[in-house]
Structures are given as C-alpha cells and as structure tokens.
Structure 1
Amino acid sequence: MRGYVLSIWNWFDPIYYFFSRLTLLPCEGAKSNIFRIRITKYKGRNVVLSDGTRINKNDTLVKIHLHNAKLLIELKDIKSDLKKAKFMYQYVQKSLPEVENYIRECRQAYMVKGIVGITMLNKGCERLGFEVVDIYSPIYKWFKWFAFLPIELLSNKQTTWESLKNQKPNYLFMSTNKLSEMYRNSMSE
C-alpha cells in the first residue's frame, strides 16, 4: 500500500512544486540537495534568536522545505528509526551549505535575515544550528499537523495515534549570520 501511495505522491509532486514557487538547489557530491526553497515574507510572531537577530512580521526569509517525496523513497528500505534519523541529519547537513551559497549570491541577500522551516522532526536540529520555536496560532499549528500527517504515516510503520497526538509542528529558524558561520566553507568538505 505504501508503494502505491508513494507512486501517487511522486506523480503529484511536480504539480505541487510548480504551484508552490519552490526552487531546487544543486548539491556537490553524489546526492542532490534535500531542500527546495523560496524567498518569503515571514507572517508569524516576532522572534529574537540567540545571536540577537530579530525576526519580525514581513521580514524576508528563505523558507526551506524538505523534498519529502525524494526523502520517503530513500528512507523506505531503512528499518531502524535511529538509522533514519542519522540519514536525515547527514542529508540536511550536506544540503545547508548550498542554502548559504544561494542566499549569499542572490540579489536580495542584503534583505534576507535567515532561514525558516516548519517540521515535526526537531530532534537534533539545534546541533545543525537551528532554533526551535513554537507556532503560536492554534489554527495554523493544527493545519500544519494535518499536512504532515501523511508524511508521518508513510515514514514510520509503527506510528500510533497516541504518538501522533503528542507530536507538534514547530518553526525552525537560523539567522543568515549563523548559517554563514557554520556552513559557508563547508561546500568543499
């Protein structure tokens, strides 16, 4: 059943990609970049990051989206949750230098304050440089939880209703300064 759902998802993914105005990033090495990104205006509550960067409503950010269809295909043969987490961590770590490069070279670089993503997978994010921030709007939080539900069901065979109820989506933020500090010279490694 999962195979059929993944096939359908892969069929619809290019349509989603087109309408979401996302951009694919290149990545050096064997794997392509796991992120699809776009420049956006932030619409949440004001946030102050640990390095002092203030993210206010309507500030320019680069929104990062995991390429879930690709990720689910690559994770389908990995049985252990620990191995899945390690695989995803390394994939994100190898993709972030291209996000940094994209921001540095884009014509709006001077306006971009940082990157933002929304995920229910926030374990280990701090080691990658992200700061986890709660989503304040209950309606938006519920909407994102519902949107992540198919991904969660497809990626974990042992998912239970209780485990799903306890998960919540969060914002992930990283300032452009921290992104550059951590990933600017990582592209050649």
Structure 2
Amino acid sequence: MRGYVLSIWSLFDPIYYFFTRLTILPCEGTKNNIFRIRLTKYKGRKIVLSDGTTINKNDTLVKIHIHNVRLLKELKGINSELKKAKMIYRFVQESLPGVELYIRNCRHSCEIKGIIGITMLNKACERLGFEVINISNPMYKWFKWIAFLPIEILSSQNTSWHIIKNRTPNYLFMSTHKLSNMYKNYIRNGE
C-alpha cells in the first residue's frame, strides 16, 4: 500500500513543485541536495536568535523544504528508526553547504537574514545549527500537523497513532551568519 501511495505522490510532486515556486539546489560536494528552496518574506512574530540576529515580519529568508518523495524513497526498506534518523541527519548535514553557497551567490544575499523550515523531526536539529521555535498560531500549527501526517505515516513502519498524535511541528531557524560559519567550508567525514 505504501508503495502505491508513494508512486501517486511521485506523480503529483512536480505539480506541487511548480505551484510552490521551489528551486532545486545545484549539487555541490554531494550527489544530490535533499532541499528544495525559495526566497520568502517572513510573516511571523519577531524572533531573536542566539547569535543576536533579529528576524522581523517581512524580513527575507530562504525557506527550505525537504524533498519528501525522494527522502521516502531513500528510506524505503529501512526498518530501524535509528538508521532512518541517522540518514536524515546526514542528508540535511550534507545539503546545508549547498544552501550556504546559494545564499552567498544570490543577488539578494545582503537582504537574506537566515533560513527557515518547518518540521516535526526536532531531535538533533540543534546539532545541525538550527534553533527550534514553537509555532505560536494554533491554526497554522494544526494545518502543518495535518500536512505532515502523510509523511509521518509513510515514513514509519511501527509508529503508533499515539506517538504521531503527540508530535508537534516547529519552526527551524538559522541565521545566515551561523550557516556560513558552520557550512561554508564544510568537509564531509572521510574526505
């Protein structure tokens, strides 16, 4: 059943990609970047990050989206939740240098204050450099939970409804300064 749903999702993914104005990052130092991105104007409440960067309404950010169809295909057949978590961590870690390069080379680079994402996978985000911030608008939080539900169901073999029900989506923020410090000269382990 999961295979059929993933096949259907793969058919609709290019339409989603088109209407969300996402951009695929070039493959720099990694075989494929797991992120699809776009410039966005932040519409939330004021956020002050740990490095002092202030994100205000209408500031320019790079919104990162994990390419979920590709990720689910990569995770297919892996039964260990720990192995899946390690793979996701590695994909994100190896893709962030491409985001940093994109921002550095973007004609709007001086306007971009940071990157933003939304996830229900909050473990180890801080180790990657992200700051996890609660979504304060309850309707938006509920909407994002519903949007993530298919991904949660398809990606986990054994996760019970009780565990999924108690997961909550959060914002992930990282300033461009921190992104550059951590990933500008990032070298993969073993290279």
Q: Percent same amino acid at aligned positions?
A: 71
Contact 1:119 1:170 in 2 (8 A): yes
CA distance in 2, matches of 1:113, 1:131: 14
Secondary structure at the aligned position of 1:142 is classed as: helix
- 2:134 corresponds to which letter in structure 1? D
Question: 2:11 aligned with 1:11, yes or no?
Answer: yes
Q: Which runs of 5 or more structure 2 residues have no equivalent in the other structure?
A: none
Secondary structure at the aligned position of 1:147 is classed as: helix
Question: 2:63 aligned with 1:63, yes or no?
Answer: yes
Query: Runs in 1 of length 4+ with deviation above 3 angstroms?
Result: none
- 1:16 corresponds to which letter in structure 2? Y
Secondary structure at the aligned position of 2:8 is classed as: helix
Secondary structure at the aligned position of 1:168 is classed as: coil
* Aligned-residue CA RMSD (Å): 1.1
Offset at residue 115 of structure 1 (A):
0.1
Secondary structure at the aligned position of 2:162 is classed as: helix
Contact 2:30 2:95 in 1 (8 A): no
CA distance in 2, matches of 1:120, 1:30: 25
Offset at residue 159 of structure 1 (A):
2.1
Question: 2:153 aligned with 1:173, yes or no?
Answer: no
Q: Matched residue pairs, number?
A: 189
CA distance in 2, matches of 1:110, 1:177: 11
Offset at residue 122 of structure 1 (A):
1.0
Secondary structure at the aligned position of 2:145 is classed as: helix
TM normalised by structure 1 equals 0.97
Structure-2 residue corresponding to 1:115: 115
CA distance in 2, matches of 1:29, 1:85: 22
CA distance in 1, matches of 2:120, 2:45: 19
CA distance in 1, matches of 2:184, 2:21: 25
Q: In the TM superposition, what are the counterparts of 1:37-186 in structure 2 within 5 Å?
A: 37-186=37-186
Contact 2:43 2:57 in 1 (8 A): yes
Contact 1:98 1:187 in 2 (8 A): no
- 2:15 corresponds to which letter in structure 1? I
Offset at residue 30 of structure 1 (A):
5.7
Q: Which runs of 5 or more structure 1 residues have no equivalent in the other structure?
A: none
Offset at residue 27 of structure 1 (A):
2.1
Secondary structure at the aligned position of 1:126 is classed as: coil
- 2:173 corresponds to which letter in structure 1? F
TM normalised by structure 2 equals 0.96
CA distance in 2, matches of 1:143, 1:28: 34
